[in-house]
Structures are given as C-alpha cells and as structure tokens.
Amino acid sequence: MPEVTTNPSPNTIHDFYGFPEELYEIKYWAPGSPDLARKTYNIIENAGLEALKNHDRGFDHGAWVPMNLMFPEADVPIIQLSIQHHMNPARHMNLGNAISELKNEGILIMGSGGAVHPLGYASFRVGAQPDQWAIDFEAWLTEAVTSGDEDSLLNYRRISPYSERAHPYPDHFMPLLTVFGAADNKEGEVAHKSWYAGDLGMGAYIFDD
C-alpha cells in the first residue's frame, strides 16, 4: 500500500548506480513535514484507500533531483508518497483524486518520472537521436495528456504504441496518473520536451488549475 514519509529531517538517498561520482556527492537537505504527512495519510484513509506512514525514509532521487532544480535553496518542505507496483493505473489515478484537496492549501502535487523511460530495453549513447518508436510513444502521450484523455491514459498498456518498450516498468508512468487524478483541469500543457542519450524522453507536463 502507499507509504507517506513522516520524517522531519530526511536524508538523501542515492538509489541508482553506474552514474558519475559527482551525483553521489549531492545532498539535498530540505525539511520534511510531519503535519502534512499526517494530513495526507488521513485524507487517503478517509477516501477508503489504505496507506502506511514511513518515519525513516529519506528523499530518493525521484524527489531530490527535480526539487534540487526547482528549489536549490532546499527551503520548501517535502513529503513523498510511494507508488505501488501491484496497483493498477486506475488505483493510482484514484489516489490522485483523493489527495486533490491539498491543492486548495497551496500545496504542489508533483509526479516525478519520465515520458519515455526504457531502462532495461534500450541502450543509451550521449548525443544519439531517439528511435522512431520512442518518438511515436511520446507523441501519443502528449496527445493523451493535452486532450485530457483519461481512458487512454488508464489503458496505456493496451492502446499506446510501444508501451512495453517505452515503460518496461511502471514506476516512471504511474506518477503521471496520480497527478492527472489530482488535477481539476485535465487538459495538461507541455512544460518541457527534450531527449537524452537517444531514447530517454524528458517531457514534462503541467496541469494548471
């Protein structure tokens, strides 16, 4: 079940391997927010969804990498809500629906992942151009997000082109569904689009309510 981090002073978790040593030296010391974590936990439970509190976990790279770019002074409190590999797309979207009320308090709900993230499938070469299958999936995803096509996003495994290549694992796709579920205006906008090392799609979307 989803876990909410309640640690007031999270450490920096370097949960990746094979990257330049400089990345492992980065420390991001933003504070946690036990009060917000408890509120989020209660909202999820009251919505009829189960959750757990995690008092020990720090910030993994899904949190500290984007937040370090957005808030380099590390002066914004952060909590993390874990994805669940055994939860289907609908349950991740329902989780977003449950926590959507947090937006009314000025809380940013951010899903961290990758538009195309074929780790374990594609080989990556710095400076390489993306393959056509990756371009096709990214174009499909952008159309689904910007048109607010909930059914397509929920059924991405069945109807999107090359979904097994673009996302052999769900961890970089499910956060988008939770943010989509939390948004009032379902028609997202493209905030960023680029490619790295060939087939890594770095696209980002924003839902402005």
Residue 72 has pLDDT above 80, yes or no: yes
Which whole number is the average pLDDT over 37-46? Answer: 96
Residue 193 has pLDDT above 70, yes or no: yes
Distances in whole angstroms, Cα of residue 67 to Cα of each of 155, 179, 205, 209: 30, 16, 16, 21
Q: Which residues contact 160 (CB under 8 A, 6 or more apart)?
A: 137, 140, 141, 144, 152, 166
The percent of residues above 70 in pLDDT, for the chain, comes to: 100
Residue 66 has pLDDT above 90, yes or no: yes
What one-character DSSP code corresponds to residue 173?
T
Please provide the size of the chain in residues.
Answer: 209
Q: Which conformational region is residue 48 in: left (phi greater than 0), alpha (psi within -120 to 50 degrees), or beta?
A: left
Q: Categorize the per-residue pLDDT at 155 as very low, low, confident or very high, splitting at 50, 70 and 90.
A: very high
Identity (one letter) of the amino acid at 47? A
Residue 13 has pLDDT above 90, yes or no: yes
Q: Categorize the per-residue pLDDT at 20 as very low, low, confident or very high, splitting at 50, 70 and 90.
A: confident
Which whole number is the average pLDDT over 33-37? Answer: 97
Which whole number is the average pLDDT over 119-132? Answer: 86
Mean pLDDT computed over every residue of the chain: 93
Domain ranges for the chain: 1-82, 111-209
Q: What is the pLDDT of residue 10?
A: 96
Q: Which residues contact 108 (CB under 8 A, 6 or more apart)?
A: none
Distance between CA atoms of residues 204 and 201, nearest Å? 9
8 Å CB contact between 51 and 41: yes
Q: Categorize the per-residue pLDDT at 65 as very low, low, confident or very high, splitting at 50, 70 and 90.
A: very high
Which whole number is the average pLDDT over 150-158? Answer: 96
Distances in whole angstroms, Cα of residue 40 to Cα of each of 1, 37, 43, 126: 14, 5, 5, 40
Q: Categorize the per-residue pLDDT at 18 as very low, low, confident or very high, splitting at 50, 70 and 90.
A: confident
Looking at 3.40.47.10, 3.40.830.10, 2.40.10.10, 2.60.40.730, the CATH number of the domain 111-209 comes to 3.40.830.10
pTM score, two decimals? Answer: 0.91
Which whole number is the average pLDDT over 170-179? Answer: 94
Q: What is the pLDDT of residue 159?
A: 96
Q: Categorize the per-residue pLDDT at 209 as very low, low, confident or very high, splitting at 50, 70 and 90.
A: low
8 Å CB contact between 50 and 1: yes
Helix (H) or strand (E) holding 53: strand 52-54
Distances in whole angstroms, Cα of residue 63 to Cα of each of 4, 15, 156: 13, 11, 24
